[in-house]
Structure 1
Amino acid sequence: MFNYIKADLYRIFHKRSNQFYWLILASLFLIFVTFSSANANFADNKSELTEMYFSLAVMSLALFGSLIISPQFYYAVYLDELNSKGFVRLFSSGLCKSEYIVAKIFSSLVYMIVVFAFLALVYVGGFGILALLNNGAPFFTINQVGLLFSLVAYLGLFTIAFSSLTNLIALKWQSGNIPLFLFFIISNGFIANLIRWLNQLPMIRNFDVSPYLLSTNTGTLQDALMNGTFYGQQGQLGNQPPSAQEALRTVDSIGFQPFVIIGMYIVVTTVISLFILKHSDIKDNE
């Protein structure tokens, strides 16, 4: 299994399209923040530079992380290999199907850690450049760093949970095109909204399934992280910067239930994926 993990990580990190994707994303972010601050004057209050830069990162992760970061993780780790030729050779070489499931989770974690570390270096480097252009500026507060870490952890949990759920289809079909589309549909709550609508039917309306849906619980975490991080939030002044402290306080108040339900989804879908894989004929995509 460890040999497969090493080979899998080698494949992922040496894939040119993966490298280009993150380089382009990092470049676009730096270009955007540079132009956003070009006409601003931070001479009187340099702390505004920190707040502006922090705001852009938080809002980008909160609004677009599930659309441009999580799907790439899922595709690079799981679906790219399914689309490649010779998927059957993985198991003909002696790799157990249970080892494959565990190895993919490990590969996903390592890939996410490395990518987020790269994005963090880009983020800090970009702030350093802006600080130098503005004759220095205060650095980030502990609460701001804590909120950014919380957002990163949320996206990691979000990716693993919805990857495990979508894999129920991907491993059955052994194709990466439709599952990627389904990942977008499922992770953005379209299926959950359909289930909620069906839940209004007379025969099942007495049992509310909404609190037990994966999208509901990931949405609870996302709402908590976004609380206090946007300008003009209800109860805030229109020009008040995001409050990392308030956002972290809200995260602490939601309790363990969303984490427990998300964890149960990961465990159950992983077990079902193993069952599907064990009872499916592996297709050679050549």
Structure 2
Amino acid sequence: MFNYIKADLYRLFHKKSNFVFYGVVFALFIAVVIIARTSVEGTTPFAEGYLQLGIILLTQFFPLVFGIQAYVAVYTNDLSANTYQNIFTNGLSKVEFIIGKVITMIVYLLTTFLSGAILYSIMYVILLMIEGGSFDFESFKNLAIVSVTIFLGILGYSTVANILAYFTQNSTISVISMGVLVSGVILQIFNLISLFTDKIEFLREYTLSYHMNEATNGMMPTILGGEASYSASFLAWGVALIYLIVASVIGVVILNKIEIKEGK
């Protein structure tokens, strides 16, 4: 299993398209910060607003852009190449495969988050040096909590998306399902249904999207200078971990039951 993880990570960290993607995204982020800083120059310190911008980007931008990209990079390679059969015939068990993929996703996501955090922190320090402000540890603590919430949420979403991926063995369907999950479409469907009937409204609280949304709502008051509510975030962490474990077990069951497509 460790050889498979090592090979998978080597593939990911030597894939030029990944570097191009993050290079473009980070360059756009720097450009946005520079433009925003220039537009408010001479009116109000931008460093404080920059911290609030971080929370908005984490909750709205990261799941859709970084989450889907990470899912595509980690999970769809084997699907699109139909290499499942080759992997399993070479001695890797279904359990080891799923655990290995989760570990790979964790390492890849962690690298992504840390890279973004380093860039974000450097830009913040530069802004403080320009404006002569002081370091806001409280806001950085809030950012850290939001980061963990989004990180675990993406992991939970990816394992749920894999249930359909393993069943269909289709990369397009798996990416679409991941997009539906991270965009909160499931929660919006429940909200829409609740306008007509409240009989299934209780099911909303069993969705990861609901708890991710509650966690976001709990942190949003900090943008307006209010106090954050951490309880929803901590609950979302637990729900995401439950989703991760349960979906992984279901994935093992599905892989053991279905017929694996012939590898290329």
Q: TM-score, normalization: structure 2?
A: 0.88
Shift of 1:224: 1.4
Pair 1:261-2:258 in alignment: no
Conserved? CA contact 1:62–1:226, under 8 Å: no
Query: Deviations 1:193-233 (Å, cap 9, x if unpaired)?
Result: 3345556777x81772222222111211121122322x5xx
Pair 1:184-2:179 in alignment: yes
Conserved? CA contact 2:208–2:239, under 8 Å: yes
5+ long unaligned stretches in structure 2: none
Aligned equivalent of 1:111: 108
From 135, 148, 171, give the equivalent of 1:140: 135
Amino acid at match of 1:3: N
Aligned equivalent of 1:226: 220
User: What is the identity percentage for the equivalent residue pairs of Structure 1 and Structure 2?
Assistant: 27
**Distance in 1 (alpha carbons) for counterparts of 2:189 and 2:172:** 23
Q: Figure out how many residues of one structure are paired with residues of the other and give that number.
A: 264
Aligned equivalent of 2:14: 14
Amino acid at match of 1:56: L
Pair 1:63-2:92 in alignment: no
Amino acid at match of 1:19: F
Q: TM-score, normalization: structure 1?
A: 0.82
Question: Superposed, which structure 2 residues align to 1:129-208 within 5 Å?
Answer: 129-131=126-128, 134=130, 137-195=132-190, 205=199, 208=202
**Distance in 1 (alpha carbons) for counterparts of 2:161 and 2:212:** 15
- Structure with greater helix percent: 2
Aligned equivalent of 1:89: 86
Aligned equivalent of 1:274: 252
**Distance in 2 (alpha carbons) for counterparts of 1:277 and 1:211:** 28
Query: Deviations 1:46-92 (Å, cap 9, x if unpaired)?
Result: xx232132222222222212211211121111123321353422112
Cα 1:195/1:84, change in 2 over 3 Å: same
Conserved? CA contact 2:128–2:134, under 8 Å: no
Aligned equivalent of 2:97: 100
Aligned-partner SS, 1:278 = helix
Amino acid at match of 1:186: L
* Bigger Cα Rg: 1
Aligned equivalent of 1:234: none
Aligned equivalent of 2:49: 52
Aligned equivalent of 1:251: 230
Amino acid at match of 1:267: I
Aligned-partner SS, 2:230 = helix
Cα 1:206/1:283, change in 2 over 3 Å: closer
Cα 1:36/1:155, change in 2 over 3 Å: same
Conserved? CA contact 1:49–1:137, under 8 Å: no
Aligned-partner SS, 2:40 = coil
Aligned-partner SS, 2:91 = coil
Conserved? CA contact 1:33–1:56, under 8 Å: no
Aligned-partner SS, 1:125 = helix
